Chain A
Amino acid sequence: MIRKDAIKIASDMIYNSPIISANGYISRDLFEADDKDTNFYMIGSMGLSSSIALGVALKNPRKRVYVFDGDGNILMNLGSLTTIGKLKPKNLIHLVFDNQSHDSTGGQPSNTKNIDLYKIAKSSNYTAFKTNSKIGLEKIFRKIKNMNGPIMILIKITKGGKPGKRITHLPVTIKKRFSQNL
């Protein structure tokens, strides 16, 4: 499963709940697959999508808040997992699209080939799942329907596919429409 397909499947299942997406190809793919007011595309500040989502989740306890993270991004802000694990927001669902590489900078390898994010998530008080298929991902979504967070879904994806186009909304527009729809 390539990133673009995984993102489309996840976004369709999430429907209109808030999504905070990591910079790089993850936000671009989400934008192309399923642009909606409830998407917050983080175009700079690499690593911080899970932190932004934590802030949103803590202040909107009745909404499920989703993070679309990447392996490069999460490795840059691993401390965030300990803060999330300590605060235990029940409504935070953390998806990591892991292709074991920094795709947007030329496909250089990341450390998740050698280090198990699933174990790190578990020891940071997450309920964690992993999959590498469409069916697996759909199954996990059904399973977590009534489950409390923080939940991590580690999605192993393969490299490849044409990356989505650049996001054409202004950052301030992304902020305003997301905020109004919370």
Chain B
Amino acid sequence: MLLKLRELSQRKMFDLLSQIGIENFIGVPDSTMKYFISQGLKKKKIIVTTREDEAIGIAAGMSLSKQNSLVFMQNAGFANSISTVTSLIQLYEFPIVFLIGWRGYLKDDAPEHYKIGRIQPKLLKAIGIDSKIITDSNLKECCKWAMNKINNSIPCALIIKREFHD
């Protein structure tokens, strides 16, 4: 099993984002980023919700309290939340970082992920959310890019490709 975003990188990413100003991590677990979540759980900084849009709502409430939040989810959950992204996050201009696991990136991923996986980049583009794909080598740059967006009050997304099978 080869992960492009290895365990160590995922853990580092959590620490890095915490250091540079993300205070809250809320979302629905995804195996693509399980080490990221495990690092957050270890530091008691994760809130697990029942659905992705619920996590986005909580993050918006924290943003009203002038705190920076990241919402993590699988792309299937992102697709579920599009109306929340447009009618809450973008409408009120809440600066939130989305961390999205890209299922269906591999052509032979499970069939339920195929269609959303194929249109994932177009979907983000269509609703106007800027995104970057994180790898082992551009980790720091991506985190800084996301923080910069947040500091300019713009929501954005970081994507982790699912490059392995269970």
Main secondary structure of the interface of B (DSSP, over half): helix
Q: How far is the CA of A87 from the CA of B94 in the complex (A)?
A: 23
Task: List residues of B (39-61) whose CB comes within 8 Å of A's CBs.
Answer: 47, 49-51, 53-61
Please name all residues of chain A whose beta carbon is closer than 8 Å to the beta carbon of B54 when the two chains form the complex: 48, 51, 77, 79-80, 83
Of the candidates A50, A82, A171, A178, the one having the most CB atoms from chain B within 10 angstroms of its own CB is A171
Task: For chain B, give the interface size range.
Answer: 20 to 34
Most buried by B among A42, A43, A48, A60: A48
Number of residues from A at the complex interface, CB < 8 A: 33
The smallest C-beta distance from A38 to any residue of chain B, in angstroms, reads: 11
CA distance A55 to B49 in the complex (A): 12
Q: In this complex, what residue of B is CB-closest to A178? A: B64
In-complex Cβ contact of B92 among A55, A56, A175 (8 A):
A175
Of the candidates B58, B66, B88, the one whose C-beta lies within 8 Å of that of A42 is B88
Q: A45-B84, A45-B88 are in contact. Are A58 and B53 (CB under 8 A)?
A: no
Known: A43-B91, A51-B61, A171-B92. 4 other contacts (CB 8 A): A20-B61, A51-B54, A55-B61, A178-B64
Chain A positions within 8 Å of B, measured between CB atoms, are 20, 40, 42-45, 47-60, 77, 79-80, 82-83, 87, 171-172, 174-175, 178-179, 182
Interface residues of B (CB under 8 A from A): 47, 49-51, 53-67, 69, 83-84, 86-88, 91-94
